[in-house]
Structure formats: C-alpha cells, structure tokens
Structure 1
Amino acid sequence: MDHLTLYGEQFNARLLLGSALYPSPQIMLDSLAASGTEWVTLSLRRQNPAHAQGDSFWQLLRDSGCKLLPNTAGCTSASEAVNLAEMSRELFDTPWIKLEVIGDDYNLQPCPFGLVAAAQTLIERGFKVLPYTTDDLVLARKLLDVGCQALMPWGAPIGTGLGLMNPYNLRTLRDRLPDTPLIIDAGLGAPSHAAHAMEMGFDAVLLNSAVARACDPVAMARAFALAVSAGRTAYCAGIMAPSQTASPSTPTLGQPLLAMPQ
C-alpha cells in the first residue's frame, strides 16, 4: 500500500484537516469522517482543554478516532512557540506538533529565524516537528539541518484559497528534496488545488477553511479526499510531459489511402 511515512510512522491518509470554523461540532466530525483523514489539527489558543469547553471539544476530537496534531498558531516568537508546544505535549500526551511562528500579521508569513530556532529546540526536546514554512529552499534546508524530518510549505497565505501561487518554487522544493516528506499547508481553496499539489509529487495536503467554510463542508471534505487520491494516483502512474508541438494521437503509418475518383 502507498503509505505516507512521517518520523518513521506510516499513515494511509494523505489529507490532513483542521478543526476550526465549522458551523457545528457535529458537522466537523462528519467532515472528518467524510475526508478519511487520520489527522486533525487543534490550536491551543482557540480551545484550552484545561477549561470545560476545551475539554469537551478535545473529547469530541478524541472520539473521532483521528490522531491529534496540536499547533502553535498565533505565536510570533520562538520562545512563545516552544512554551505552547510544551503545554500541548503535557495536555494531549503527544510529541507531535505543527510548528507555526508568524512573522507578519498581514499575510501570516512564517518568520524564518524564529521558525528555525524553535524547531531546533523542540527537536532537541524530543518533539516530532512539522514546521509550517514558506516555499523557500534555503529555509527548508535549514529546517532539515536542525533535525526536522518533514516540512509543510505553504501554497498561499493562510485562508486565502488562492491555490499554488508559486509553482516554480514548489517544484524546486520537490525536485531538490526528493526524500523529504512535503505537505502543502495553507492557501488551498478548491479540490483542484489539492489535486495539482499531489500531481506535482507532494506527499499530502493540510487544509481547513476550504472545507469548514463551504456551503456543505461534508461534501467538500469528500471532494478533497477524491482529489488527493486522484492526484496521487496520477503522479505515481506518470503524468505525460507537456510539449510545445502537436503530436497526433492516431498513427498514420499503415492507414489505407482512399483512391481519388477518375
């Protein structure tokens, strides 16, 4: 079977979903089920399981059967992200963390310096870090150098739905880091965006707004699951290379010639 391997663990699903913005908890659970995901992200800044409301929400996510991926959304410094990650490990009993260190409030672009510093500290403390990063190759290599075994480059800024804004940079990442699991995170708005990412050879996609804000989140979750599967299957099958010149799909060699009337 075509598994996704992260930090030595194998997973079947290549679609990861967030838990925010859904019209209701039940619609969120139904969407998770429809997507077939094994992962759901949770922001400690939105839901604190130390409080009654957070504990109830955490119980819902645990009942979903999905693996919980806490994140450090909203953090703007390495120290803040490290502290939040430590809280998540204690509260949720998991070493997994989606690392976010935001450097700009307008487009929510990751801060490269804080991201690398936080990743290094967390890796040294035994975390399995999935860093939310840009599509910059040099930054990606710095994150790998400090011990990250997988990366989550953005397709576009969080919540924009713009899709893959810089295919050249993303293809460069994929080509230059062939053995690194790469998960497109943020900016996907349509199932076609997810299919495109998978056709390019990315290992998985993570999204939230495109499903949660849809008129029918459950149906949209199912659509994204189909798109991810189709894109991955196409990539593995071998997509034909584009060409600037036309090439007939029907061979002419050996075709009978019609005699012209005398």
Structure 2
Amino acid sequence: MADMEHTDTVCAADTWSLGGKEFTSRFILGSGKFRLDVVKAAVEDAGAQIVTLAVRRANTEQEGNILESIPAGVTLLPNTSGARTAEEAVRIARLARELGCGDFIKVEVIRDAKYLLPDNAETVRATEMLANEGFVVLPYMYPDLNVARDLVSAGAAAVMPLGAPIGSNRGLVTRDFIRILIEEIDLPVIVDAGIGRPSQACEAMEMGAAAVMANTAVATAGNIPLMAHAFGRAVEAGRAAYLAGPGRVLESAGEASSPLTGFLEEEAR
C-alpha cells in the first residue's frame, strides 16, 4: 500500500507547462469531429485539460456554439484549420483571440488537399509572426529535425509532429522521426494526428513524448466517452512507463525471469 501511495504521489507531481500554464493531464482532445452533445462528456471522461477547436465552429451564431460545450477551466487551443498560407493562419489566430479563445494557437497550414500534409515552410513563417504577437504557438508539422529546429528559433512553445496523416487512425507511422525530435528538441513534443488506438498513444508516451492529441479515434468510436476515458488512461500508463524506465530487450536468447526456473531445470536433469 505504501508503494502504491508513493507511486500516486510521483505521478501527481509529474506536471508539464505551456505558455506559463501548468497541466497534469497529458492527453489533448481534438473536438473537430465531435457532435456538440458529446463534447462535454468526452472531455470529462478523458480528463483532458486542453481541448482544440476549429475557429469556424466558435465563430457562429447558430444555436449550440462549441464554446458552450467545453467545461469551464479547460484551456482552449484553437487551430488555424483551413489556412493555406502563413498570412491566413495569422488572420485566423487573431480572430480566435478576438472571440475570447485566449492566446494559445495550434498552427495548421495545409495546401495539400489530398493527403492533408502540413506545409512546413509556411508553418515556420506563421509561427514566427504569431510568436512575435504574443501567441503561445503550437505548430502542427511533418516530423523533420531541421524544421523542428527552425520552429524552436521562430518561438514555438512546442512542436506537434504527425504520427500519420490526419484522420487516418494508422498510428505511429513516423515513430522513428518522432523519436529523433524527442531526443534532439528542447521543447515539448506533442504527437498529433493519425493516432488510432489507446495502445498507440501509450507507445508515444513510452517514447518520451510530452503529450498526445487525438480526435478522429475518439469521435468515431462506438462509445465515445468510454474511448475518451481509455485514451486518457493509456496516456497516463505510457508516461508512467517512461518515468519508470522500460526493461532491457534481449535480441538473441531468452533469460530465466526467476531463480526458480533454473532450479527446476537442474531438477529435470
């Protein structure tokens, strides 16, 4: 019991920061594909403290504004979805600020309509412009070490490399490149896009990612609140495993896991 209490204390103290705010949850929930009637339950069941939203869903006079569905105290992370240039991303970010969404902004600059891959060069430009205006900028990017370094220089608060193309649920297709960013970039690395299963979110956290974001995988689940809960717990498990330090992997032969195994082998002889 004492060991469990110690473990709970260690995990509770494992906070992280963005833009001067401190968070205990490392699961970021994207709301772009959610029905408004399930947003609140998904956020609460996931234990999410940061929720992304498309500005076009907040900038509406229709009944059921998404801002009314997100629980109080949750940090809003509006995105620049729809931007095709750095200038368009900046305009959307300014609109989000005027709407009362705060200074956090997830930069998405996408010209590719088929695969929805981010334009890294325009993303760097947008990041620098917005950082100079006092935004807390989290750029969505294709995992490239040189681009990540440029984003650091441009003033990014974190980098958000894609695990796989947006909405694909294919998991950590780019895991080797994400691992390089985690090892080399002195900013939080938040794995975004393509995560399709809680086990994949857990793997990303085991690698040392600061956080994981998911949207489609939760929004398209049969039981949305339950899947949100599963993702939240998987992220916690992956982070705990990273902090614990995973055991070694033997590439050649096996090894007895207990002295008793060797004793039985001697008896068999």
- How does the TM-score come out when normalised to structure 2? 0.89
Alpha-carbon offset, residue 255 of structure 1 = 4.0
C-alpha distance in 2 between matches for 1:77 and 1:25:
29
Contact 1:198 1:235 in 2 (8 A): yes
For the aligned residue pairs, the C-alpha RMSD in angstroms reads 1.9
Structure 1: which 5+ residue stretches go unaligned? none
Partner of 2:219 in structure 1?
Answer: 212
Matches within 5 A, 1:56-205: 56-61=65-70, 63-177=71-185, 179-205=186-212
Amino acid in the other structure paired with 2:67: W
- The total of aligned residue pairs comes to 255
C-alpha distance in 2 between matches for 1:209 and 1:218:
13
> Is 1:35 the counterpart of 2:46 in the alignment?
yes
C-alpha distance in 1 between matches for 2:134 and 2:217:
32
Contact 2:59 2:99 in 1 (8 A): no
**Which of 235, 239, 242 in structure 1 is aligned with 2:246?**
239
Describe the shift of the 1:215–1:258 C-alpha distance in structure 2 as closer, same or farther (beyond 3 A). closer
Partner of 2:32 in structure 1?
Answer: 20
Name whichever of 64-73 and 142-151 sits farther off: 64-73
Amino acid in the other structure paired with 1:73: S
Amino acid in the other structure paired with 2:57: R
Alpha-carbon offset, residue 7 of structure 1 = 2.7
C-alpha distance in 1 between matches for 2:256 and 2:77:
49
- How does the TM-score come out when normalised to structure 1? 0.91
C-alpha distance in 2 between matches for 1:258 and 1:7:
63
C-alpha distance in 2 between matches for 1:214 and 1:93:
28
- Identity among equivalent pairs (%): 42
C-alpha distance in 2 between matches for 1:239 and 1:93:
39
Amino acid in the other structure paired with 2:222: C
Alpha-carbon offset, residue 240 of structure 1 = 1.5
Alpha-carbon offset, residue 33 of structure 1 = 0.6
C-alpha distance in 1 between matches for 2:85 and 2:36:
31
Structure 2: which 5+ residue stretches go unaligned? 1-12
More helix by share: 2
Contact 2:53 2:78 in 1 (8 A): yes
C-alpha distance in 1 between matches for 2:67 and 2:212:
23
Amino acid in the other structure paired with 2:28: L
C-alpha distance in 1 between matches for 2:178 and 2:101:
33
Amino acid in the other structure paired with 2:14: D
1:97-142 CA-to-partner distances (Å, cap 9, x unmatched) read 0110013111111101110111000001110000001111111000
